[in-house]
Structure 1
Amino acid sequence: MQEKHLERMRNDKGFIAALDQSGGSTPKALAAYGVSENEYTTEVEMFDLVHKMRTRIISAPAFDSEHILGAILFEQTMDREIDGKYTGEYLSEEKGIVPFLKVDKGLAELSNGVQKMKPIDDLSETLDRANERGMFGTKMRSVIQEANKDGIKEVVDQQFEVAKQIINAGLVPIIEPEVDIHSTDKEKSEEILKQEIIKHLDLLKENELVMLKLTIPSVGNLYKELIDHPQVVRVVALSGGYSRDEANGKLKSNDGLIASFSRALSENLSVSQTDEEFNAALKEAVESIYDASVNKNS
């Protein structure tokens, strides 16, 4: 199954859906969906509601393998079921969509212009469960606020250090050093980031494969060298706070870069919609993001 997933991720057309909001971002995701914080009182109730939302998205007809290559899940989503199957198994077996798991525990405090990942103390156990639940890969996020060379190097060093553990567990890591779209020196940060990533990619062995999830760059095709690197399965882009139209427009200026959108995917979905209205809104989002991922300007 892993080889089949790898072949799909390398070569097929489409994008990755990011459905991995965790504890801190879940209330915002629910609010955007039309579920206010006064509709739940405990964390358990909150996660029940968000799983219901994700189940509705994943099981909708518009959420299909023709347009969507993979989906990134939160840990609790991985451990829950859809129609009697663990979510990853449902995605893989019923939808033909490759499942990934978010493994980071959130961001550390800002230092040297960046936010590294908090320690992932239970990584080994989580990776064992990810394998049991049929995950193909993982995802972990850091954030770069400023073009600080030392800070960016620390972020990339940490990402690849953890990535090695994930590779050794038989999974493909998505490395996500996000550059904040509001950074005043975003373009400079992206150039530094690219060079740091290349240094690490060049040290990987032939069987050590990674994916990259990056902010859509200010300079079109800046990451072409990363996209073409033999150790990179795919480079995907986060929407980073851009609206879907903005993100799609910027994505089209980058050959080979595909979407991995979260908010931009679900921005027009609502709990109050009928199933027909919900699927129509999701279909519009899916098709527009797919189009931006496969149809480029050049």
Structure 2
Amino acid sequence: MMSSTTLKPTFTGPRVPVAKAGRVAPSRAAILRVRAGPYDEELIATAQKIASPGHGILAMDESNATCGKRLDSIGMENTEASRQAYRELLCTTPGLGEYISGAILFEETLYQNTTTGSTMVDELNKQGIVPGIKVDKGLVPLPNSNNESWCQGLDGLAQRTAEYYKQGARFAKWRSVISIPSGPSNLALQDCAYGLARYAAISQASGLVPIVEPEVLLDGDHDIDRTLEIAQEIWAQTFKYMADNKVMFEGILLKPSMVTPGADSSKREKPEVVADYTLKLLRRRVPPAVPGIMFLSGGQSELEATLNLNAMNQKPNPWHVSFSYARALQNSVLKTWKGQPENKQVAQEALLKRAKANSQAQRGQYDPSTESKEAGERTFEKGYVY
């Protein structure tokens, strides 16, 4: 005979919570929803335009102080008029848009007019060159590190990027650095990666495609294997923090260093070796969703930077592997111009020659037989700052 006592359930498995009346439990799709920003389509279109076949970036974003060093090398005084004359020479070079798809500007240049009254931004847009803007505030000592640096500029960045967008900029650039002779320390690696991720997220929210640039400096006598080791580490952390910050990878561009030995290394590597190591880094760390890898020259000679880029593009890869050069595009230009108005046209021809050479290298079709001896001159500066 059964007892009238109510039997208690003996189920001991996991209990599934029941949604309260009037409330619907969030679906798994809702929980996993990916960010969708107001500029997403524009960001993707801008990144793809810059990373178009045969094109690269002209980095002309040197600070006024660094631009002054360039001018001093040809005997010119560092005045606003001198900087205007040089930057106008670059922006108004006829035919430049055939090889250059983006130009990184310093803040002064973004708001600057040419001597004829048009803006630098207008001159670039006329040729289909996307104007960009340097947004970091430079390197300062990182406390409690191995004499390393961190990049400042996150304070007020959202307001500044919004204003830059109104002025016509459509992409941004932030340079942070890693020093191999300094270790590098974990503190420096993490600060570099997280700062870049925050900058990238803020830039995308303002409509600017962020160029992500954790530069592994050439300073040092280390070999190419050590460079690869450190480059892998900083890129792993950078992409981890960008994912944490919900950065849309289809709307960014990368500006890495090529994987080379240190500037003081006794062993130099051939372009084919540099290409193998650099592509190995990309395959191990960079998602195929990223549209463009725009390499910095990092103090390589004009010839060396072009040869290495050409070698990379003779091997299969899923990205637009291209260039974002400053010194490796401008060294010949400055020496040809010499600050003389009568040399403007021939200096612009020198810029076109270098831009065309790197355009050919982007397609893996570069022929170095026509290069001058001067193209092989190294542009490396120890502890280089912009």
> Would you say same fold, with TM above 0.5?
yes
Asked if the contact 2:48/2:291 (under 8 Å) is kept, the reply is no
Read off the aligned partner of 2:127 and give its amino acid letter.
K
Alignment partner, residue 54 of structure 1: 87
CA separation of 1:253 and 1:116: change in aligned 2, threshold 3 A: farther
Structure 1: 5+ residue stretches without partners: 41-45
> 1:277 pairs with 343, 346, 358, which one?
346
> 2:106 pairs with 69, 74, 90, which one?
74
CA separation of 1:158 and 1:216: change in aligned 2, threshold 3 A: same
Alignment partner, residue 266 of structure 1: 330
Pair 1:88-2:121 in alignment: yes
Asked if the contact 1:12/1:69 (under 8 Å) is kept, the reply is no
Give the Cα–Cα distance (whole angstroms) in 1 for the partners of residues 83 and 166 of structure 2: 23
Give the Cα–Cα distance (whole angstroms) in 2 for the partners of residues 113 and 234 of structure 1: 32
CA separation of 1:125 and 1:225: change in aligned 2, threshold 3 A: same
Deviations 1:122-164 (A, max 9, x none): 3233212211111111101111112525121220111101221
How far apart are residue 179 of structure 1 and its match?
0.8
What percent identity do the matched residue pairs reach? 25
CA separation of 1:159 and 1:220: change in aligned 2, threshold 3 A: closer
CA separation of 1:291 and 1:168: change in aligned 2, threshold 3 A: same
Pair 1:98-2:136 in alignment: no
Count matched residues: 286
Alignment partner, residue 37 of structure 2: none
Deviations 1:67-105 (A, max 9, x none): 11100000000011234343223312x111011100111
Greater Cα radius of gyration, structure 1 or 2: 2
Alignment partner, residue 72 of structure 2: 31
Give the Cα–Cα distance (whole angstroms) in 2 for the partners of residues 229 and 114 of structure 1: 31
CA RMSD of aligned residues (A): 2.4
How far apart are residue 5 of structure 1 and its match?
3.0
Alignment partner, residue 8 of structure 2: none
How far apart are residue 28 of structure 1 and its match?
1.6
Alignment partner, residue 382 of structure 2: none
> 2:178 pairs with 138, 144, 161, which one?
144
CA separation of 1:13 and 1:279: change in aligned 2, threshold 3 A: same
Read off the aligned partner of 1:289 and give its amino acid letter.
N
Query: Which structure shows the higher strand fraction?
Result: 1
Alignment partner, residue 272 of structure 2: none
Give the Cα–Cα distance (whole angstroms) in 2 for the partners of residues 66 and 163 of structure 1: 28
How is 1:37-48 mapped onto 2 (pairs within 5 angstroms)? Answer: 39-40=77-78, 46-48=79-81
Read off the aligned partner of 1:175 and give its amino acid letter.
V
Give the Cα–Cα distance (whole angstroms) in 2 for the partners of residues 276 and 163 of structure 1: 38
> 2:197 pairs with 130, 153, 160, which one?
160
CA separation of 1:206 and 1:144: change in aligned 2, threshold 3 A: closer
CA separation of 1:172 and 1:258: change in aligned 2, threshold 3 A: same
How far apart are residue 206 of structure 1 and its match?
7.7
CA separation of 1:13 and 1:113: change in aligned 2, threshold 3 A: farther
Alignment partner, residue 234 of structure 2: 193
Alignment partner, residue 43 of structure 1: none
Read off the aligned partner of 1:66 and give its amino acid letter.
E
TM-score (norm 2): 0.68
Alignment partner, residue 286 of structure 1: 355
Give the Cα–Cα distance (whole angstroms) in 2 for the partners of residues 122 and 200 of structure 1: 20
